[in-house]
Amino acid sequence: DVSRDLDESLVQDFLAEVDNKQIEGFLRDLTKVPHMATTAGDEATVQYMLQRWQDPESGLDRAWIEQYLVYLSFPDPKKPNKVTVVAPNTTVLHTAREREKSYGPDQDDPEVVQPYAAYSPAGTQQGKLVYANQGKPSDYMLLNKTLDLRGTIAITRYGGAGRADKAINAAPYGVVGVLVYTDPLDINDGLMSDANETYPHSWYMPPSGVERGSFQTDYGDMLTPYLAAKEGTYRIPVESITGIPPIPIQPIGFEDAYVLISQLGGESAPTNWQGGFNCTYNYGGPGFKPASEFNDSAVKLEVFNYAELRNSSNVMGIIRGSVEPDRYVIYGNHRDSWVHGAIDPSSGTSVMLEVSRVLGRMLKQGRWRPRRSIIFGSWGAEEFGLIGSAEYTEQYYTKLSERTVAYINVDIAVFANATLKASGMPSLQNLIFTAAKQVKAPGLDSTTVYDNWLRYSNRTSPAHGTVPRVGYLSGAGSDYAAFVHYLGITSMDLSYTYDRTKTKARIYPAYHTAYDTFDYAARFIDPGFTSHQAVARTAGNVLLRLADSLLLPLNCSDYAESLESYLATALELYQTSGAPPSISIEPLKSAVGLFRSAATQLDQFIKSSDLANEIPLKVRRINDQLMLLDRAFLDPQAFPEKYGFRHVIWASSSAGNATFPGFADAFARASSSGLAGDWAKAHHQLSILSQAIEGAAHTLLDVI
């Protein structure tokens, strides 16, 4: 039936059938062994996904593998990376752990990869140690004021700057190698002892825990920008790669970091550089204190990483739409982890498998077929830089941008079990609210996920009053990046997260360590798996509504509200920027005004229509306007210096203002330099932005 709308009783069936025990079972299966991208463990999860999605009782219409030949970086198992303290007489005074300490069979698995910094160059460097705080440009600048950094090794803590940036920022000062560790202050609320405080006694990171990670700046396979990484695809020369560490870098545990930092000489670092150790964090002489046994010793960093092309798999599954098969709702998560990855990403993968299992059963039992097509994506090699999802969007750019209604990302489904967290385009806000109101909050019988969320995080909307706060997807933190920034697809990212009054941890403490295991998830993150269940119910409800609603549940007036809030900040910034009078802000004001009136007009047109009883091309026309709204904000020339960023509203920004990113960065730069050329660039950004918003308004305005 062409005019078929969402069936609310079917939504209730779906919610009822989502089973926490099933999720637990999926998680147990997925985390049996480490499954770093392209390893045998990863291949096992590929087969596992395929089996589930091809299951005759609860599978999808079709499931298959898509492979890409991508550039990955690994440590050499035969020559482990090493960090040592070496005396002038070459005696080794201290050796950092090569593996994390074992508390059970998971850590004993020989497939646990040594902690390393993916894409760090190989090399041996030795030098006096300095402490460089978070490795931000301002950190090295300050350090350089009193110390000659040439030939030094810098130790930095995670946070404040991107992983690769800690080395990229260091190199210009002559630093030859970098160490990075997680400070207990930043991850463990200060706790440090594995005798009783850290895992396996709690969710906190044990002293030997090390956050692995990809040390790159741009997302996607590095050798094949804008091209799917297939066998014969052109690859840029390895020497042309940008955004990776120019000098060796290696992550270590805070146990070893303490040994080094507590012995550092030199002046005491500023208060905001101090961490959780019971010692003063000094800059370093450079090097260690005269009184230390390490006096005059150097730190030696040996990195044996190598990079090579590997075949990485996405597993894809589809349910074909009955009425509009040419409209896609995509639901995805990565499948690869650093080690066992129970939380990252398998919590999300388990949730996705439960959503697809319940929908697959409804499908196979003949109870349901969606109005629009549903695509599930289990992306490969996300940990190395969102590679699987990025290559997928490059290969299928045309059909995805022509037909995709929305993308739902659930990576880490449960960081903690306090409250829902959602980020996405403003047009999705109301849909997420609707879905969250139909789901019971875990552990709170009479409260909905929505009401619980409202208590933890809210804001006042001019149109709706107090509502939960939905974040924006301005960065490239998970696989939504290519969908948002490259394709301009309306996207969201969902999870359950912390009570921020109870922890200051940067992220859940086992993140990217050998302790992110089923045991950890089941005992400390979500005992009973009810938060997983709530996320599955919420995300699945959103998915069903996107796939089945006659009118797409996307609200363009909520988009206008966000643009107006950005505009208000932009106007303040403009006023105080000292912009020359030749640069008028009027085109931006008028573009946002046009967008608002277009949104109002479309909403009234929808309200005044009886869509189920008018010609089916009318609702299709409106749905096309709503679907293409985010596409209208794309400008491939807006950010020539940011790879894969084309959406002018949600790009990343360094200026730190809640406003249009290109505008914010360009005005901040011009305002600070006062150079005519920088003002010209600011004016250019203003015109790009105004035209894009006007273009988006034209997408919403009456079609002719």
| Residues engaged in binding Ca ion (CB under 5 A) | 220-221, 224, 229, 394
Sole binder of a second copy in the list 118, 249, 632, 649 (CB under 8 A): 632
Q: Looking at 23-31, 263-271, 314-322, 407-415, which segment touches Zn ion (CB under 5 A)?
A: 407-415
Coil, strand or helix at 79? strand
The alpha carbon of 553 is separated from its chain's Cα centroid by a whole number of angstroms, namely 25
What is the smallest separation between the CB atom of 428 and Ca ion, expressed in angstroms? 27
Bridge partners of residue 206, in order along the sequence: none
Residues 6+ apart with CB under 8 A from 453: 419, 420, 436, 468
* Half-sphere exposure for 104 (CA within 13 Å, toward CB): 11
Q: Which has the closest alpha carbon to 545: 492, 498, 597?
A: 492
Within a 10 A sphere around the Cβ of 274, how many other Cβ atoms?
15
Q: Are 571 and 53 in contact (CB under 8 A)?
A: no
- Residue closer to Zn ion (CB basis): 520 or 667: 520
344 binds, among Zn ion, a second copy, Ca ion, none (CB under 5 to 8 A by kind): Zn ion
Residue 141 within binding range of a second copy, rule CB under 8 A: no
Q: Which has the closest alpha carbon to 435: 2, 3, 18, 1?
A: 18
Catalytic residue among 302, 382, 383, 391: 382
What is the smallest separation between the CB atom of 224 and Ca ion, expressed in angstroms? 3
What is the smallest separation between the CB atom of 143 and Ca ion, expressed in angstroms? 37
Residue 527: phi and psi, rounded to 5, are -60, 130
> 177-181 and 153-157: which strand pairing?
parallel
What is the smallest separation between the CB atom of 693 and a second copy, expressed in angstroms? 10
Residue 369 within binding range of a second copy, rule CB under 8 A: no
Q: Which has the closest alpha carbon to 361: 540, 493, 545?
A: 540
Q: Which residue is nearest to Ca ion (CB)?
A: 224
Q: Are 390 and 58 in contact (CB under 8 A)?
A: no
Most distant pair of Cα atoms in the chain: their distance: 88
Q: Looking at 11-19, 343-351, 657-665, 688-696, which segment touches a second copy (CB under 8 A)?
A: 688-696
Q: What is the CA radius of gyration of the chain?
A: 26
What is the smallest separation between the CB atom of 665 and a second copy, expressed in angstroms? 16
Sole binder of Zn ion in the list 324, 411, 516, 561 (CB under 5 A): 411
Sole binder of Zn ion in the list 251, 345, 424, 468 (CB under 5 A): 345
Active site residue 308: no
Write out the two tokens for 57: 């009782």
What is the distance between the alpha carbons of residues 394 and 493, in angstroms, rounded to a whole number?
Answer: 21
637 binds, among a second copy, Ca ion, Zn ion, none (CB under 5 to 8 A by kind): a second copy
What is the smallest separation between the CB atom of 643 and Ca ion, expressed in angstroms? 10
306 binds, among Zn ion, a second copy, Ca ion, none (CB under 5 to 8 A by kind): none
Please measure the distance between the N-terminal and C-terminal CA atoms of the chain and give it in whole angstroms: 29
- Residue closer to Ca ion (CB basis): 220 or 388: 220
Q: Are 636 and 630 in contact (CB under 8 A)?
A: no
Distances, alpha carbon 238 to alpha carbons 166, 209, 223, 663, in Å? 21, 32, 7, 33
Residue 119: phi and psi, rounded to 5, are 80, 5
411 binds, among Ca ion, Zn ion, a second copy, none (CB under 5 to 8 A by kind): Zn ion
Count, residues near a second copy per rule CB under 8 A: 58
323 binds, among Ca ion, Zn ion, a second copy, none (CB under 5 to 8 A by kind): a second copy
- Residue closer to a second copy (CB basis): 288 or 396: 396
586 binds, among a second copy, Zn ion, Ca ion, none (CB under 5 to 8 A by kind): a second copy
What is the smallest separation between the CB atom of 233 and Ca ion, expressed in angstroms? 7
What is the smallest separation between the CB atom of 223 and a second copy, expressed in angstroms? 11
Binding mask 386-425 for a second copy (x = CB under 8 A): --------xxxxxx--xx----------------------
Residue 678 within binding range of a second copy, rule CB under 8 A: no
What is the smallest separation between the CB atom of 9 and a second copy, expressed in angstroms? 24
Residue 704 within binding range of a second copy, rule CB under 8 A: yes
Sole binder of a second copy in the list 447, 601, 609, 691 (CB under 8 A): 691
Residue 370 within binding range of a second copy, rule CB under 8 A: no
Number of residues in the chain: 704
Q: What type of residue sits at position 474? A: S
Q: Interface residues for a second copy in 199-258 (CB under 8 A)? A: 226-228, 230, 232-234, 237
Q: Looking at 184-192, 244-252, 410-418, 639-647, which segment touches Zn ion (CB under 5 A)?
A: 410-418
Q: Which has the closest alpha carbon to 102: 511, 514, 510?
A: 514
Q: Is the dihedral of CA 595, 598, 600, 606 positive or negative?
A: negative
Residue 703 within binding range of a second copy, rule CB under 8 A: yes
What is the distance between the alpha carbons of residues 629 and 648, in angstroms, rounded to a whole number?
Answer: 12
What is the smallest separation between the CB atom of 297 and a second copy, expressed in angstroms? 46
Burial class of residue 65 (count of CB atoms within 10 Å of its CB; 0-12, 13-18, 19+): middle
Residue 97 within binding range of a second copy, rule CB under 8 A: no
The alpha carbon of 303 is separated from its chain's Cα centroid by a whole number of angstroms, namely 27
528 binds, among a second copy, Ca ion, Zn ion, none (CB under 5 to 8 A by kind): none
Q: Looking at 261-269, 340-348, 540-548, 623-631, which segment touches Zn ion (CB under 5 A)?
A: 340-348
Coil, strand or helix at 178? strand
Distances, alpha carbon 464 to alpha carbons 336, 468, 557, in Å? 40, 10, 11
Q: What type of residue sits at position 122? A: A
DSSP 281: -
Distances, alpha carbon 414 to alpha carbons 57, 264, 346, in Å? 28, 38, 10
221 binds, among Ca ion, a second copy, Zn ion, none (CB under 5 to 8 A by kind): Ca ion
Binding site for a second copy (CB under 8 A): 2, 226-228, 230, 232-234, 237, 318, 320-321, 323-326, 328, 373, 375, 394-399, 402-403, 584, 586-587, 615-617, 620-621, 624-625, 628, 631-632, 635-637, 680, 683-684, 686-688, 690-691, 694-696, 698-699, 703-704
- What are the catalytic residues? 382
